[in-house]
Amino acid sequence: MSKLFFDHLIVLSEVDRKIKSLAKSQEEKEELWGLIDEIVHHRVFDLILGKLPKEKHIEFMEMFHKCPNDEVYIMSYLEKATGENLGDYIKEEFKKFEKEILSELET
Amino acid sequence: MAHDPPGTTYKINKGKIDTEFLRNKLKLKSLEAKRSFQEKYPHAHKFLADRGVDLAKIRQHSAKVISAGALTGTLLLSPPVGIDIRAPLEISKNVDKPLQETFLGLLKSALPEKARPLLRTEEKSLEQVFQEVIGVKTKATLEGEHLNTTYGYIGAEQHLKRFAGDSMGVHPAVSEDDEGMAPGRGAWGYVPGDVEKWYAVVQTLYLPDWSIRQPYLRDWYKYRKVLIVNTKNGNAVVAAIADAGPAAWTGKHFGGGPEVMNYLGGPRYKKGPVVVFFVDDPENKVPLGPVEYNKVNVPILALRQV
């Protein structure tokens, strides 16, 4: 089993549709999925650390390292530490990210 | 000497350029994201590097943590759901209560409110419910194998190619909202017609040991039968695994071919919560297709459409 605490926040259906329409083999599809995965991971951490006070960065990283799958535990910690609904923030940022990727692919 | 028909060469080149273009763009974006993260948060990057974790591959780290049994936090704090199915089943028989209604009640008792990986005790309860109520013997863990998750969201998939040149021109559409046919082949190549009609997609690519236990796992999962239960209406179908996916960032954990999705939730059903267990069928006697436990005694609860 492999689950990350932010999986439920990221839905890039149009990017997926694009990949599925272009990939000619399973290997190619999985390679492209993997590249999106890498971008998503870096973006999520970038967004979170950008909102968290610097003195809490390592505390969060330790929490993630210990239970990377636990969405309730980590998201409630983040909301308490930032005083913001980080879930909604990440969702909104990824809507923009999807548009950005799609428009780049059109150019 | 045979020549390509007019336009063919252009089409082939265009397809090739498109895929390469997409790959290059994504590679570039991935490198940019990596560089930007390292520059902005060197202490976080160092924290992960010191522990041998690459941010690009944190899904593998999660799989390792979970398979080591180190479940922490919420999952352990929430009490496992356990149920006794005897009383509801007896009542159902005695008062002629629709079986589907009983089944839905049991599912509600056995499942957590939100879809998440299930605990072993929860999976055991459900195995019992599936066998006793709908008559299908299932296992969440079969022959030591377990799916990436057993309770999650299923999404609509396209038809899979059954042979070279297969297309929607020769494949009947299931509904007006049919997703059409996937351009490439399934993860196991062309799919036999009977399998294609009732096929499922699971995230084999995210299994923690997928890349190291080959070719065993690839063979084990090929056309493996699973029971898919729509937890909102109780509709159930036996399907064969014939493709890998969906990607983790789609909000879905499983996929169903057009016939599967149509049976689970009707022609407009595109996504919804389901439980997926392996069918324990060593003699290969369980047919693919709908499990019609609810056909006879539930005339009012025709919950096909959600």
Confidence of residue B87 (pLDDT cuts 50, 70, 90): low
d(CA A67, CA A78): 14
Do B39 and B121 fall into the same domain? Answer: no
Contact, B202 vs B289, CB < 8 A?
A: no
Mean pLDDT to the nearest integer, B49-73? 80
For the residues B203-208, what does the mean pLDDT come to? 91
Evaluate whether residue B296 is within a structural domain: no
Residue whose token pair is 């080591």? B68
Asked if A44 is an interface residue toward chain B (Cβ–Cβ < 8 A), one would say no
- Which residue spans within chain B are E strands per DSSP? 138-139, 141-142, 145-146, 151-156, 199-202, 225-230, 236-244, 254-256, 271-279, 289-290
- pLDDT for B219 beyond 90: yes
Helices (H) and strands (E) in chain A, counts: 5, 0
Same domain, B144 and B254: yes
- CB-nearest partner of A39 from B30, B47, B208: B30
For residue B5, is pLDDT > 70?
no
Q: Report whether pLDDT(B82) > 90.
A: no
Over range A75-86, report the average pLDDT.
96
Contact A68, A5 (CB under 8 A): yes
Task: Tell me if A72 and B206 make a contact (CB, 8 A cut-off).
Answer: no
B205 plus B130 within the same structural domain: yes
Q: Which of B13, B14, B26, B145 to mutate to test the interface with A (most CBs of A within 10 A)?
A: B26
Dmax over CA atoms of chain A, in Å, equals 47
pLDDT of residue B64: 80
Residue B2 lies in a domain: no
Verify that B162 and B49 share a domain, yes or no: no
Range of weakest confidence among A25-39, B18-32, B57-71, B277-291? B57-71
For residue B161, the domain's CATH number is 2.40.40.10
Q: Is residue B30 in a domain? A: yes
A22 interfaces chain B, CB cutoff of 8 Å: yes
- C-alpha count within 13 angstroms, C-beta hemisphere, residue B264: 31
Tokens 């084990």 belong to: B220
Tell me which chain B residue has its CA closest to the CA of residue A67.
B72
The average confidence (pLDDT) of chain B is 85
Domain shared by B25 and B125, yes or no: no
Query: Residue B93 pLDDT more than 70?
Result: no
Q: Are residues B44 and B181 in the same domain?
A: no
Distances (CA, A) of A72 to A4, A77, B15, B65, B116: 11, 8, 43, 17, 11
Tell whether B105 and B174 lie within a shared domain. Answer: yes
Distance from CA of A62 to the nearest CA of B (A): 8
A27-60 exposure pattern, b = at least 16 Cβ within 10 A, e = fewer? ebbbbbbbbbbbbbbbbbbbbbbeebeeeebeeb
**pTM score of the predicted model:** 0.86
Cα–Cα separations (whole angstroms), residue A63 to A55, B62, B72:
14, 12, 10
- Residues B83-94 have a mean pLDDT of 62
Both B145 and B217 in a single domain?
yes
pLDDT of residue B75: 52
In this prediction, residue B179 has a pLDDT band, given cuts at 50, 70 and 90, of confident
Same domain, residue pair B239 and B199: yes
Strand partners, B240: B199, B225
CB atoms A37 and B51 under 8 Å:
no
pLDDT category of residue B8 using cuts at 50, 70 and 90: very low
Average pLDDT over residues B22-28: 91
CB contact under 8 A, A2 and B71: no
Whether B142 and B58 share a structural domain: no
Tokens 């960032």 belong to B249
Of B23, B72, B183, the CB nearest to A67: B72
Of the listed ranges A100-104, B148-152, B201-205, the least confidently predicted one is A100-104
Domain extent at residue B222: 99-290
User: A1 pLDDT band (50/70/90 cuts)?
Assistant: low
Q: Are residues B73 and B202 in the same domain?
A: no
Q: Would you say residue B301 has pLDDT above 50?
A: no
Q: Is residue B4 in a domain?
A: no
**Residue B69 and residue B121 share a domain:** no
* Interface confidence (ipTM) of the complex: 0.92
Q: Are B138 and B238 in contact (CB under 8 A)?
A: no
Q: What is the pLDDT of residues A46-77, one digit of tens each?
A: 999 999 999 999 999 999 999 998 999 999 99
Residue B82 lies in a domain: no
Task: Determine how β-strand B199-202 pairs with β-strand B254-256.
Answer: antiparallel
CA of B33 to nearest chain A CA: how many angstroms apart?
6
Domains identified in chain B, total number: 2
Question: 3-state secondary structure string, B184-225?
Answer: CCECCECCCHHHHHCEEEECHHHCCCCCCCCCHHHHHHCCCE
pLDDT at B3: 47
The whole-angstrom separation of Cα B178 and Cα A64 is 40
